[in-house]
Structure 1
Amino acid sequence: MNAALGREVVELSREFRPALMAFFLRRVHDHAEAEDLTQEVFSRIAAQPDMPVRSGSAYLFQVAANLLRDRARRQQVRRNYRETLGQIDGEAIELIDPYRVTAARSSMAALRAALDELDPTTSAIFVLYRLEHMSKDVIAEGFGITVRTVEKHLTRAMARLTARLGDAI
């Protein structure tokens, strides 16, 4: 911001700050919020160097009205979001949380590495049974082995994965 523009914004602030504060206070009923909105008006004016600053109070109050509209829209979005959270709270729907996503990716990578340490048949049987939810009978038929052998592979896989990953599985 050039010095001339800075002086003009300071002069506008001295002249119109009380009126803008009153304008915002009548609408938001919170002194700190009114102060923030007033400051935002002058910040927006200062951020537009090509616009003549001395365009009068009408422009300042138009910027102020636009800020209030933006504020109302943001509050409506937040209100809708909170209502949505309230509706899904009782439905056992979990929200997407970046920390949970990161933890899940890490767990999946550890599981993948542990599965890679198993022999291919044991790994495949474990994946089919635990992740694909195939029955032991179908797995046994697919591999041409008995159900008892499938159970032995699953026991071996669970023992190895439990030793490697702990209670995470």
Structure 2
Amino acid sequence: MNSIEFAIKMELDGEKYYREQAENNQDNPLNIIFVFLADDEKGHAALLQNELKKISYDLADNQTLAETNNVFKERGDFKNKFEKIPNQLDVYRMALQMEKDSIELYQKFFTESTDEQTKKLFGYLVKQEENHFKIFDNLITLVERPEEWVEDAEFGVREEY
């Protein structure tokens, strides 16, 4: 199995994982985020399949990060529903690790690629996976912050979130 075939399998596995999480979160705003991510992974697999078959493709920017940030802005409702979902933090941490592993793998494939088009594709995928990483990093912060954040003037200036 070459690097592109491996990457296709990995993207399809990621799509499956995010679809399962979307199913598990049908009753809250996280469903939308997981659907966006599953669609992104499916699109990445399609790009890789086109590269494998030497079919032309476009590396267009997507708006997943911007769209998920809009979901986070409606936190009031999000927070109330979130507290009813057990073990979600573990799901986010697992997804964060999956995205980190994807970034590292695509960076490795990028440096090993000799073909300019393949190199460009892996560079694009690194950026896409970095956006996914930011989404889960933000989710983890959003969930952990209420438990570790103390609002009191004596504790000094804190970063905004």
- Give TM-score, length-normalised by structure 2: 0.23
The structure number with the bigger radius of gyration is: 1
Q: Which has the higher contact order (CA 8 A, sep 6+)?
A: 2
